[in-house]
Amino acid sequence: MAAVEATEVEVDEVPEVERRLNEKEDDEVIDGTSQTDALHSVTIAKFDDPKLGLPESLIKGLYEMNFTKPSKIQAISLPKIWANRNLLAQSHNGTGKTACFVLGMLRIADARVKKPQALCICPTRELAKQIAEETHRMGKYMLLESGMTVKCILKEERYEKGATMPDQIVIGTPGKIWTLISLRVLDTAAIKVFVLDEADEMLTAGHGDNTKRIRKVMPKQLQTLFFSATWKEETVKFANSLKGSGGEASWAQVTIKRQHIFNDQVKQYYLECNGFKEKEERLGELLSLIDAGQIIVFVNTRDSVESLTRRLTADGHSVSSIHGKMEERARDKALKDFHDAASKILIATNVLSRGIDVPAVTLVVQYDMPVMHGGMYDPETFLHRVGRTGRFGRKGVALNLIENKKELRVLNDIQDYYERKAQIQEIPPTTDPEAMLALLTVK
């Protein structure tokens, strides 16, 4: 196995909305890192730091997006990216991971080369679209100045026979990317940076196989940048099978200790219900109480999305819904309506649990406890769902509706996994509506 340099971040990431570094002297809190690595303690305090040498056009785009100072993950990761390290990076949801690899792609691309030079793959089309939008915003002036183009692969497109993509940066899901490679539309010969966002999710059936196929047709010498809020041991093994040999081939790894991975800006509660019927009724009552902010309700199946959407719509709620089997146009409309606040509530499966950022979300409801096939508890999905609120330094609330003893065991197992026992507080079933509203309202 390749050498891994481990950088453990033991404190919360700095709120990106404020874009300020922690003022403590020991804000790096780096633990267990090889002292022979000169980059071990290198961080940046500002985006125009000479150690990075960002072009003015890129700095202008960052400032326009209100990036004034790097968050902790950015301060630690960007020097390693600029030193051409292969990087495994973990950070809390909503702390600026995307900006790290977007800057890494923008810095490497050359407008004079009319071929893809940076390739980013991620598990869902919604996330691919969001990454592409952030790349366009961050690189706004750089793209205008250089003539570089960014392509997000959202659907099958027609190309003339023999035509190839001229775009320098390409973003998409593994299946769509592999299709274009198979059709010889996407030429991988010039790729210098390979990014996996939500890297642990790319191990799942279909994603993992296609990701390996994609990697095999790319140059051996390239930089690999893998990001996620959660890491498993098998993810590191998977990453080792994909890493590039260019530049400094050993891994730099930035991780967070498991017990610190939850965002303490999000208050978490659970409410026990006496069966499915009561759970459905309690959700309706709660949603009727809350006026401010937007709400995402997570369920486990497509059928649950559809039935709950019908129920809440009939009760007069403004609801959008999304699941993986919907037509792409319908998925786009549902997410746009929610982004634009045309709907207040979004009912979703796990297709929306990762990476998606809607700043106005103040409450996440886990209507169903997340479980894997076979009923095993799913701590990673739990964390990512909760991470749809409290992003970029904002506060949020997460409520777990518990239908039966089995779901309570799942919740307890997840708390044990993250060493967070008693951190998710119980709301007594007899709590009156006014007190319930006070708990679920962001203060």
Confidence of residue 260 (pLDDT cuts 50, 70, 90): confident
249 with 326, same domain? no
Q: Where is average pLDDT lowest: 119-128, 223-232, 251-260, 349-358?
A: 251-260
Regarding whether 314 and 253 lie in a shared domain, the answer is no
Same-domain check for residues 239 and 191: yes
Range with the poorest average pLDDT among 50-59, 176-185, 271-280, 308-317:
50-59
Mean pLDDT of 374-401: 89
**What is the domain extent for residue 138?**
4-260
Share of the chain above pLDDT 70, in %: 88
pLDDT recorded at residue 39: 40
Residue type, position 378, single letter: D
Number of domains observed in the structure of the chain: 2
Residues 230 and 283 in one domain: no
Give pTM, 2 decimals.
0.81
Tell me if residue 92 falls in helix, strand or coil: coil
Answer yes or no: do 175 and 48 share one domain: yes
pLDDT band, residue 263 (cuts 50/70/90): confident
pLDDT greater than 80 at residue 74: yes
Highest mean pLDDT among 116-130, 252-266, 421-435: 116-130
- pLDDT for the residue numbered 422: 62
Cα–Cα distance for residue pair 19/23, rounded to 1 Å: 12
Sequence-distant (6+) residues with CB within 8 A of 1 are 237, 240
320 shares its domain with 222: no
Using a 10 angstrom Cβ sphere, with 0-12 exposed, 13-18 middle and 19 or more buried, the burial of residue 32 is exposed
Q: What's the mean pLDDT in 254-278?
A: 87
Domain boundary residue among 229, 260, 291?
Answer: 260
pLDDT at 432 exceeding the cut of 70:
yes
Residue 15 DSSP one-character state: P
Do residues 25 and 113 share a domain? Answer: yes
Residue, of 361 and 3, whose pLDDT is higher: 361
Under the banding of pLDDT at 50, 70 and 90, the label for residue 98 is very high
105, pLDDT greater than 80:
yes
Same domain, residue pair 37 and 85: yes
204, amino acid identity: T
Instruction: Report the C-alpha gap between 237 and 383 in whole angstroms.
Output: 22
Whether residue 44 contacts residue 75, with contact meaning beta carbons closer than 8 Å, is answered with yes
pLDDT of residue 11: 31
Q: Specify the CATH number for the domain of residue 125.
A: 3.40.50.300
pLDDT digit string (tens) for 199-236? 888 877 668 899 999 999 999 999 999 998 887 778 78
Does one domain contain both 81 and 188? yes
**Residue-wise DSSP of 278-325:** HHHHHHHHHHHH--SSEEEEE-SSHHHHHHHHHHHHHTT--EEEE-TT
**Dihedrals φ, ψ of 34, to 5°?**
-60, 125
d(Cα 334, Cα 342) in Å, to the nearest integer? 9
User: Do residues 327 and 384 both lie within one domain?
Assistant: yes
Cβ contact 207:324 at 8 Å: no
Residue 273 and residue 210 share a domain: no
Q: What is the mean pLDDT of the chain?
A: 84
Per-residue pLDDT band for 118 (boundaries 50, 70, 90) equals very high
- Whose structure tokens read 């490497």? 108
| Overall average pLDDT of the 275-301 stretch | 92
Percentage of the chain beyond pLDDT 90 is 55
Q: Which of 230, 260, 290 is where one domain is finished? A: 260
Mean pLDDT of 272-295: 91
Intra-chain end-to-end CA distance of the chain, in Å? 47
Higher pLDDT, 266 or 203: 266
| pLDDT of 18 | 28
* 305 shares its domain with 166: no
Q: Decide which of 260, 280, 303 is a domain's last residue.
A: 260
Q: Please report, as a single letter, which amino acid is at residue 31.
A: D
pLDDT in tens, 8-55: 443 333 333 222 222 222 223 333 333 233 344 568 888 988 888 888
